[in-house]
A and B are shown apart, each in its own frame.
Chain A
Amino acid sequence: RIYPLMRVTLTTSDGASVTVSRQLTKHSGFIEKAITDMAVDDNAVPLSAVAVDVDDATLKLVIEWLTEHRDDALPYPEKTDEERRADDIPAWDQAFVQKWDTKEDQQQTLYAVITAADKLDIKGLLDMTCKTLANKINGKTVEEMREILQLECDFTEEELAEIRKENAWCEN
């Protein structure tokens, strides 16, 4: 049973702490588990102590999203075998992630939130941010993808040629 007025204090990796309503934290599988399993004192959950490296700025964004989504149905629907899609992000969420999309940021915020959503087990937020990243690389060239994902190539020239040959079968 969740008591709506119950408050939970979260401590981030950089020492900041924030107190939020359990109405928000119930969407995080990790925090719920921490509260129930670990019998934390005064409902204070030190995120860093349990290998969840979430910084203050990222946690603020997570809480902003949770606040908007506090009434989302739980449990979050399981993944089905249906085709995955990425074109169904709600308008509020789209505007929310749009704000991070600056030249200086270079997806750093997006990755930080994806990582936090994964670690904190917030399925709705993870889904939405993964869709956002999928949309970013959708239809892009390899160079553009490399730029967005900031990935270094660890293939040899020969290996790369082989993969291209395998995949270029239907090109003119």
Chain B
Amino acid sequence: SNRKRCLEDDAGEPNEHTTSKLTSNEDHLSKLPDDCIRDILERIDHADLDEAATLSRRLSDLSDSSRSKAQPAEAERLEIEQVPPGLFYLLVAYAGRKFCFDISYDGGIDPKLCRLRNLNSNTRTGNSRPTSGNANKSLTLLHRFKFRSCVFRNIIINDNMLEFIDKVISTSFVTSFAIVRGFYDVQLEQRER
């Protein structure tokens, strides 16, 4: 095959095959189907997917759709605090650092991430950023974690709370959980199915 290629080059008539090998802006990945690239991306972790998402438009889309299969990072703890009416603080403790997702939810409509706060003392002040347009995409940031423990604060078990859990928690990183005191665990388990 090399010989054949050389002959074509000498003749100055590169065919499609030779051009693809020689042109620098022709990348290898463009020839691979989406499924194949997703298979590769599903095997790297979320931090690597962050990087991969900045490579190109196609890689950005494929990185997003690979998130659900990528290895979640193991976080120490999730604290869920309910701030009526309709606001939830989800505090994530991960690798010695803390972040808080402020999520508004008052039934019916989709949960909305209002703010993402970085609570680490050694960071610049005012490092909380209101999230703009892509709030639901930001919410998928939660999917990159699995939690060793989960703590509830100020929780009032009502329809709103249960629906919130249904929409935000159970679909992302908690496969099953129960509130230990009282009869709520029964309700929650039923809710999950």
Q: Which residues of A contact B (CB under 8 A)?
A: 13-14, 16, 53, 55-57, 83-86, 107-108, 111, 114-115, 118, 126-127, 130-131, 133-135, 137-142, 145-146, 149-155, 160, 163-170, 172
**Min distance, Cβ A38 to any Cβ of chain B, angstroms:** 22
B40-48, B156-164, B166-174, B178-186: which lies at the interface: B40-48
Contact assessment for A146 and B55 in the assembled complex, using a CB-CB cutoff below 8 Å: yes
**Min distance, Cβ B33 to any Cβ of chain A, angstroms:** 7
Contact assessment for A142 and B69 in the assembled complex, using a CB-CB cutoff below 8 Å: no
Contact assessment for B50 and A167 in the assembled complex, using a CB-CB cutoff below 8 Å: yes
Contact of B42 among A84, A126, A135, A141 (CB under 8 A): A84
Q: Which residues of B contact A (CB under 8 A)?
A: 1, 4, 17, 21, 24-25, 27-29, 31-33, 36, 39-45, 48, 50-57, 59-60, 69-72, 94, 97, 99, 116, 118, 120, 122-123, 129, 134, 137-138, 141
Contacts of A57 in B (CB 8 A): 1
Work out how many contacts link A and B, with CB atoms closer than 8 A.
122
Closest to B72 in A: A83
Contact of B25 among A149, A152, A163 (CB under 8 A): A152
Contact of B54 among A13, A108, A114, A160 (CB under 8 A): A160
Contact assessment for A151 and B1 in the assembled complex, using a CB-CB cutoff below 8 Å: no
Interface of A is mostly: helix
Contact of B56 among A134, A135, A141, A155 (CB under 8 A): A155
**Min distance, Cβ A11 to any Cβ of chain B, angstroms:** 13
Contact assessment for A134 and B32 in the assembled complex, using a CB-CB cutoff below 8 Å: no
A115 vs B123: C-alpha distance in the bound complex, in angstroms? 45
Contact assessment for A166 and B138 in the assembled complex, using a CB-CB cutoff below 8 Å: yes
Contacts of A126 in B (CB 8 A): 36, 39
Closest to B45 in A: A138
A140 vs B49: C-alpha distance in the bound complex, in angstroms? 10
Contact assessment for A154 and B57 in the assembled complex, using a CB-CB cutoff below 8 Å: yes
Contact assessment for B57 and A155 in the assembled complex, using a CB-CB cutoff below 8 Å: yes
- Pick 11 A–B contacts, CB within 8 A, sort by A: A13-B17, A114-B32, A126-B39, A130-B43, A134-B41, A137-B40, A151-B55, A163-B53, A166-B134, A167-B50, A169-B99
The 7 closest A-B pairs by CB, nearest first: A134-B43, A111-B28, A167-B50, A86-B43, A84-B42, A14-B1, A84-B43
Question: Given A55-B1, A141-B51: A149 and B28 within 8 A (CB)?
Answer: yes
Interface centre among B27, B28, B56 (most CB of A within 10 A): B28
Contact assessment for B31 and A111 in the assembled complex, using a CB-CB cutoff below 8 Å: yes
Contact of A83 among B39, B53, B69 (CB under 8 A): B69
Question: Given A130-B39, A155-B57, A169-B118: A137 and B52 within 8 A (CB)?
Answer: yes
A138 vs B51: C-alpha distance in the bound complex, in angstroms? 10
A169 vs B138: C-alpha distance in the bound complex, in angstroms? 9
Question: Given A115-B31, A142-B55, A155-B56: A166 and B120 within 8 A (CB)?
Answer: no
